[in-house]
Structure 1
Amino acid sequence: MKPFIEIAGVSGTVYRFQWVSGPSRLPATAGNFIFFRSAPDGDEIVCCGTARSLVLAATAWERARDQYGAASIYVRLNVSRAIRSAEHQDIAARQAPMVTITELD
């Protein structure tokens, strides 16, 4: 896995996400998350979302892994709810993931 990836939003803004080795390694900090799976044309986004604590994304990860074949987790630490929500909407509009999660509380 690449330690960092950059994902563009519909606005053209590019957001940097960091790889997490598994759900037990998710930080307790608020932020955005993206789950990827391998595809013939390269990795594709299965799910993107936000959480007040990224630890809460572990349940969504299990579902994405089991139902859609998600294979990697990337996170972006983002304490401000308004900013992570705006970034999430920007990314989801451009990337059109299979699943979007607006805020895990």
Structure 2
Amino acid sequence: MRPFIDLVGASGAVYRFRRFEQGQVPATGGAFAYVQEDADGLRVLGLGKARTLAHALAGAALRREAEGELYLRLNVVAAAQDSEYEDLTAALPEPFVRYESE
């Protein structure tokens, strides 16, 4: 899998995510996506946001979602997290799992 992916929201804005390498999950807020890549390109299996990624990903969301790779987008500002998440969920093709955590 690639080190970075770009996901496009309904507004046309592009959001860059970095592939999570095993290790410590950042304590900052942000978004995360479980992504699978095949001959047809990228497919988002799950998308989430959290005020603290370390807490959100320590639970059930840390497992690979149906063999997807985990990508993170760090964003400390809660208002930006919310608007980006809404923009992305409006644009991504269903089905995908939605995660929201405080």
Q: Return the alpha-carbon distance in structure 1 between the equivalents of residues 92 and 29 of structure 2.
A: 21
Partner of 1:72 in structure 2?
Answer: 69
CA gap of 1:70–1:92, structure 2 versus 1, over 3 A, is farther
Q: Return the alpha-carbon distance in structure 1 between the equivalents of residues 2 and 99 of structure 2.
A: 24
Residues 33, 45 of structure 2: 8 Å contact kept: yes
Partner of 1:5 in structure 2?
Answer: 5
Q: What's the RMSD between the two structures over aligned residues?
A: 1.7
The alignment of Structure 1 onto Structure 2 pairs a total of residues equal to 99
Percent identity between the two aligned chains: 36
Structure 1 unaligned blocks of 5 or more: none
Give the secondary-structure state (helix, strand or coil) at the position aligned to 2:87.
helix
Residues 45, 68 of structure 2: 8 Å contact kept: no
User: 2:18 is aligned with what amino acid?
Assistant: Q
Q: Return the alpha-carbon distance in structure 2 between the equivalents of residues 40 and 25 of structure 1.
A: 31
1:81 matches 2:78: yes
Residues 50, 101 of structure 1: 8 Å contact kept: yes
Give the secondary-structure state (helix, strand or coil) at the position aligned to 2:41.
coil
**Runs of 4 or more consecutive aligned structure 1 residues displaced over 4 Å after TM superposition:** none
Q: Return the alpha-carbon distance in structure 1 between the equivalents of residues 37 and 24 of structure 2.
A: 21
User: 2:30 is aligned with what amino acid?
Assistant: G
Q: Normalising by structure 1, report the TM-score.
A: 0.82
Partner of 2:99 in structure 1?
Answer: 101
1:49 matches 2:87: no
Q: Which has the higher helix share?
A: 1
C-alpha deviation, 1:16, in angstroms: 0.7
C-alpha deviation, 1:40, in angstroms: 4.8
